[in-house]
């Protein structure tokens, strides 16, 4: 844990601009395979199955999906705006150069996923599952969580800005240049997994009892 930032700790977010997009239909999405240069908007569905596809240079906006399946799919240079999905099944997905803004998720399962150069802005999560995920160059900005699960995840240059979570699980996590100073944390599980993270002095004080318990120290009042 450190007061300041170390060299090379800032996430390296690659900027991209979407090309001129044509309007996409639900049939385009459900056809599977390779989907590119389309704008999908206004869908309201109980289930959207996008498993194993490759989606590139696409925009998704104003979608209400009861259950969104993204398992083993690849999203490259895609943007999501105002997406509402109580259930997201994204295990094994690949997200490269992706932006998500003003979206709401219930349980979001991205276990075993690869997330690289991704930003989440003004998003609300219930449980976000990043167990055993590869997370690199990712920023969460103005986001709230019920729980962030980073068990056994490998995270490098991950940053939280003006975020809050009720619980953070970092059991057996491998963290490198992970900036938690902008994450309000109510409870940490697996506190030894914070090795490699940066926290503030205020966070250190707030978590002092958990550190003491982990070290077997009795704190007298």
Tell me the pLDDT tens digit for each residue of 137-181: 999 999 999 999 999 999 999 999 999 999 999 999 999 999 999
Neighbour-count burial of 75, counting CB atoms closer than 10 A to its CB (0-12 exposed, 13-18 middle, 19+ buried): buried
Residues sharing a CB contact under 8 Å with residue 17, sequence separation 6 or more, in sequence order: none
DSSP per-residue string spanning the chain: --SSPPTT-S--PPP------EEP-HHHHHT-SEEESEEEE--EEEEEE-TT-EEES-EEEEEEEEEEE-TT-EEEEEEEEEEEEEEEE-TT-EEEEEEEES-EEEEEE-TT-EEEEEEEES-EEEEEE-TT-EEEEEEEES-EEEEEE-TT-EEEEEEEESEEEEEEE-TT-EEESEE-TTEEES-EESGGGGTTEE--HHHHHHTHHHHHHHHTPPPP-
Q: How confident is the model at residue 211 (pLDDT cuts 50, 70, 90)?
A: low
Question: CA-to-CA distance for 184 and 200, rounded, in angstroms?
Answer: 10
Residues sharing a CB contact under 8 Å with residue 43, sequence separation 6 or more, in sequence order: 26, 63, 64, 65
Q: How confident is the model at residue 7 (pLDDT cuts 50, 70, 90)?
A: very low
Tens of pLDDT, residue by residue over 86-113, are 999 999 999 999 999 999 999 999 999 9
Question: CA-to-CA distance for 177 and 157, rounded, in angstroms?
Answer: 5
Q: Would you state the CATH architecture of domain 22-215?
A: 3 Solenoid (2.160)
The predicted pLDDT at position 6 comes to: 43
Residue 60 has pLDDT above 80, yes or no: yes
Neighbour-count burial of 178, counting CB atoms closer than 10 A to its CB (0-12 exposed, 13-18 middle, 19+ buried): buried
The predicted pLDDT at position 216 comes to: 63
The predicted pLDDT at position 212 comes to: 54
Tens of pLDDT, residue by residue over 178-191, are 999 999 999 999 98
CA dihedral sign of residues 108, 110, 7, 171: positive
Query: Can you give the residue ranges of every domain in the chain?
Result: 22-215
The predicted pLDDT at position 207 comes to: 75
Q: How confident is the model at residue 56 (pLDDT cuts 50, 70, 90)?
A: very high
Torsion region of 210: left, alpha or beta (phi above 0 gives left; psi -120 to 50 gives alpha): alpha
């Amino acid at each position: 844990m450190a007061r300041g930032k170390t060299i090379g700790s800032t996430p390296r977010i690659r900027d991209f601009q979407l090309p001129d997009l044509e309007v996409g239909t639900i049939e385009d999405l459900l056809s599977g395979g390779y989907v590119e240069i389309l704008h999908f908007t206004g869908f309201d569905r109980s289930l959207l199955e996008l498993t194993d596809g490759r989606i590139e240079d696409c925009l998704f906006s104003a979608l209400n999906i009861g259950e969104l399946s993204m398992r083993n799919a690849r999203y490259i240079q895609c943007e999501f705006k105002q997406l509402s999905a109580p259930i997201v099944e994204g295990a094994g997905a690949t997200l490269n150069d992706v932006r998500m803004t003003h979206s709401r998720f219930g349980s979001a399962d991205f276990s075993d996923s690869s997330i690289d150069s991704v930003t989440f802005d003004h998003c609300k999560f219930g449980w976000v599952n990043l167990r055993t995920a590869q997370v690199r160059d990712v920023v969460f900005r103005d986001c709230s969580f019920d729980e962030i699960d980073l068990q056994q995840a490998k995270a490098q240059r991950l940053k939280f800005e003006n975020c809050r979570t009720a619980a953070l699980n970092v059991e057996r996590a491998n963290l490198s240049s992970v900036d938690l100073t902008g994450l309000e944390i109510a409870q940490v599980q697996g506190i030894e997994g914070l090795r490699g993270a940066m926290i503030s002095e205020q966070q250190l004080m707030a978590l002092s009892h958990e550190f003491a318990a982990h070290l077997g120290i009795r704190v007298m009042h």
